[in-house]
Amino acid sequence: MAFVSPSKGFKNQINVTPLVDVVLVLLIIFMVVTPLLHRGKDVTLPSAKTNDATKAPDAIVISLPADHSIWLDATRVGKDELGSRLSAALQHGPASKILLKGDETLSVREVREVLAAAKASGARSVSLGVAEVKR
């Protein structure tokens, strides 16, 4: 882009400073937001053709990996302390949604025990995490 200056003539340089500023701001935003997108422990979810249309980002995530451990968000908890930790988390927001992410290799008995502990702690609803089948 050429600009005409009355005293010096044409200026044939592009000012890249605003472009660099915008790119750096976008980079910082993506660096901050990316770790927040994935919550809970990594598990291989079972597949389903439909999923829950209401996705609450502030849900309490309970993860059950293949090694049969229990994770409440990013903290490993035992079966005996899951109810007390969950009820403490629900006191801050009693209408909070609970997302249960269970590995596809687990049996129904293991998932049902965690569902029973969530119900005993006062949870109103528990959503099961699934991987959506792409058609």
Same domain, 29 and 53: no
Same domain, 53 and 100: yes
Same domain, 27 and 9: yes
pLDDT number for residue 54? 47
pLDDT number for residue 128? 84
Range of the domain at 21: 3-37
Give buried/exposed letters for 25-45 (b at 16+ CB in 10 A, else e): eeeeeeeeeeeeeebbbebee
Mean pLDDT by 10 residues, the chain (135 residues): 62 84 94 78 70 61 88 87 87 79 87 88 83 70
Query: In the chain, where do the E strands start and end?
Result: 3-5, 9-11, 47-48, 60-64, 70-72, 75-77, 98-102, 126-128, 131-132
Which DSSP string corresponds to 70-90? EEETTEEE-HHHHHHHHHHHH
pLDDT number for residue 21? 94
pLDDT number for residue 53? 54
| 42 located within any domain | no
